[in-house]
Amino acid sequence: MELFANIIHEGIIFLSIILEAFTAIVISVVSVIVLIGYFFSLFKPEEKLRLGLARGLALGLEFALAGEILRTIIVRNLEDILILGSIVILRGGLSILIHWEIKHTLGCITSKCNIEEIKDKIEE
């Protein structure tokens, strides 16, 4: 039974490390793609770039949050539970803020499209 518990413990640690690696990869790749897009748009801030970055950050944070939740399974003492709980709350809060930003940015893009459609109709 002890051997089985150790295998589970090590497996969970391994999975949480893999999820942290996915977090780093996703955020890095998305950041580079958005940076390249920013340079190609001649330093003009575009809502689509912000939206892409926000979506990438949200995906990365979800991987990180999954890793932290897995770690709660193997916690041995109260101090570790408090630390992990704090991390989960912070990452969850960041995720909520990023999703709010995505909704806000989508609203801005939609309203700009509506304004352009109205201008086109007025000019006709």
Per-block mean pLDDT, blocks of 10 residues, the chain (124 long): 86 93 95 90 76 90 89 84 88 89 79 60 55
pTM: 0.74
pLDDT for position 47: 78
DSSP 48-88: HHHHHHHHHHHHHHHHHHHHHHHHGGG--SHHHHHHHHHHH
CB of 23 closer than 8 Å to CB of 60: yes
Sign of the dihedral through C-alpha 117, 119, 122, 124: negative
The C-alpha atoms of residue 109 and residue 54 are separated, in whole angstroms, by 14
